[in-house]
Chain A
Amino acid sequence: MSLQKVLGKTMQLDDRKSSGEKTDRLRRSIDSATTIPNREVDDLCEAFVMRVITINFITCAVKACKASASSFPLHFQDVEVEQQEVHFEPAFIQNLLPRIDWTGLRTTAIELGFPTVPDIKPNNDTLDEPMLRDLHRLLLETQVVEGKLVCGNCGHEYSIKDGIANFLLPDHLGSSPSLET
């Protein structure tokens, strides 16, 4: 079985809401998002970004912290934030929404000074275009270029440099078995 087939087979998503047309549009939006406009780029140092959405899928790498509610979400500190225009694709945001931890997103939004996140996660009935645009702006267009992510449980700080967050742990925090058993 080819890897493509395995992936096709395994990565089945909820496609009920997505017509082929929507899928095409999503693909275009993803393609267009790879090229971030208005930024000087060179061969290697191109537009690395830490989108706000990312932080909703991340917690502290220290194992003891994962069981603690205070480790999620990690907290932004001393951040340099940029807004980069990304092609607006409502269906992408809509499909993302069920995966979002809303309480976590609200915490993050407040830390970044982003005021327009509603108290309660919108559902398909309450989701209108202005709200989708707000979410698009927060989740995809708001990008952290420099700064720190801090665990609310252990206090460990992870650095973000040039848009890449580094979650490698120092030896004393990581779990790293060395001996064969």
Chain B
Amino acid sequence: MNEMADSKGRSLAMGKAYEEKHVHEVYQQIAQHFSTTRYKAYIGCGNGKYLAVNPNIFIVASDRSEALARIAAKHQPHSTIVADVLNLPHPYSFFDFAMSIAVVHHLSTRTRRVQAISEILQTLKVPNDTDQGGRALIYVWALEQKTSRRGWDKGDQQDVMVPWVMRGSSVAESAGHETQTFHRYYHLYEENELERDIQSAGGFVLESGYEKDNWWAIAVRAPENDESISATKLL
């Protein structure tokens, strides 16, 4: 139970330091293994697999983990940088499209999650009368995944440590074939929580849903103090 995250205790602790230990360090360690398995499993953030969907675009991919960014750079021709979702190095009101898969749920307080979403939204072009603005696609892990092998469901603890089991041979540094288990911090999103966080972050949800243990939403920046643009126009 010590391994379980305690949202009350942590709310007073330093979220950043917590994530450093329980998210960033782990991803640095498991990056190689993570990437090889994830690459085939589904579309991962920044590894470039989704370029086949529409090659007619230029993408700047980023990851907090340098180890992962390096693997992403290997797989796609566009651009990969190391950056933190809370301090993205992109101009405001700039992109037509932003995508964040399995990132926001690694932030360990609601304030930080909302700020991450806000940071993503602010890179998007602002909607106006003639332009619907940039859109963001955000995926987070769902609390409601009763049929997954982890079996979490509604009402369960939302702040969890999720084990990542790695055979020793998968990491260059580790000798022998010992099994190593790493734990990553996740905040499991409950139904409607992603939409709430997007609203708090100054976003307007165009569409949202559930897919295979994840909640997803497509959002635009909500127009600020401009009554001439009604929310319905964005649709």
Nearest Cβ on chain A to B89's Cβ, whole angstroms: 4
A179 touches B91 (CB 8 A): no
Tell me if A133 counts as interface (CB < 8 A to partner B): no
Segment at the B interface, from A58-66, A75-83, A110-118, A119-127: A58-66
- Total contacting residues, chain A, CB less than 8 A: 61
Q: Which residues of B contact A99 (CB under 8 A)?
A: 58
Tell me if A103 counts as interface (CB < 8 A to partner B): no
0/1 per residue, B47-89, Cβ < 8 Å to A? 0001111111110101010100111011111011111101111
Nearest Cβ on chain A to B150's Cβ, whole angstroms: 20
Q: A58-B81, A178-B16 are in contact. Are A15 and B56 (CB under 8 A)?
A: yes
Q: A3-B43, A165-B82, A174-B84 are in contact. Are A59 and B89 (CB under 8 A)?
A: yes
Q: A34-B77, A44-B70, A48-B70 are in contact. Are A1 and B97 (CB under 8 A)?
A: no
Q: Which residues of B contact A62 (CB under 8 A)?
A: 87
Q: Which residues of A contact B79 (CB under 8 A)?
A: 50-51, 53-54, 57
A175 touches B77 (CB 8 A): no
Q: Which residues of A contact B58 (CB under 8 A)?
A: 53, 57, 96, 99
Main secondary structure of the interface of B (DSSP, over half): mixed
Tell me if A10 counts as interface (CB < 8 A to partner B): yes
Nearest Cβ on chain A to B173's Cβ, whole angstroms: 12
Report which of B50, B60, B83, B110 forms a contact with A180, defined as CB distance below 8 A: B110
B97 touches A10 (CB 8 A): yes
A23 touches B87 (CB 8 A): no
Tell me if A154 counts as interface (CB < 8 A to partner B): no
Nearest Cβ on chain A to B17's Cβ, whole angstroms: 8
Q: Total number of A-B contacts with CB less than 8 angstroms?
A: 164
Tell me if A47 counts as interface (CB < 8 A to partner B): yes
Nearest Cβ on chain A to B130's Cβ, whole angstroms: 14
Tell me if B15 counts as interface (CB < 8 A to partner A): yes
A8 touches B53 (CB 8 A): yes
Nearest Cβ on chain A to B36's Cβ, whole angstroms: 11
Q: Which residues of A contact B74 (CB under 8 A)?
A: 44, 46-48
* A101 and chain B: residue at smallest CB distance: B91
Report which of A4, A23, A54, A165 forms a contact with B55, defined as CB distance below 8 A: A23
Between B54, B71, B115, the greatest number of chain A beta carbons within 10 A of the residue's beta carbon is seen for B54
- Chain B's interface size range is 35 or more
A11 touches B57 (CB 8 A): yes
* A6 and chain B: residue at smallest CB distance: B137
Tell me if B167 counts as interface (CB < 8 A to partner A): no
B70 touches A4 (CB 8 A): no
A23 touches B56 (CB 8 A): yes
Tell me if A135 counts as interface (CB < 8 A to partner B): no
Nearest Cβ on chain B to A87's Cβ, whole angstroms: 10
Nearest Cβ on chain A to B152's Cβ, whole angstroms: 21
B66 touches A164 (CB 8 A): yes
Tell me if B218 counts as interface (CB < 8 A to partner A): yes
Report which of B51, B83, B139 forms a contact with A168, defined as CB distance below 8 A: B83
Q: Which residues of A contact B174 (CB under 8 A)?
A: none
9 A-B pairs with CB atoms under 8 Å apart are: A3-B43, A23-B56, A30-B55, A50-B79, A66-B92, A96-B58, A164-B80, A165-B82, A179-B15
Minimum-distance CB pairs A-B, first 6? A33-B77, A180-B11, A54-B79, A61-B89, A167-B89, A167-B83
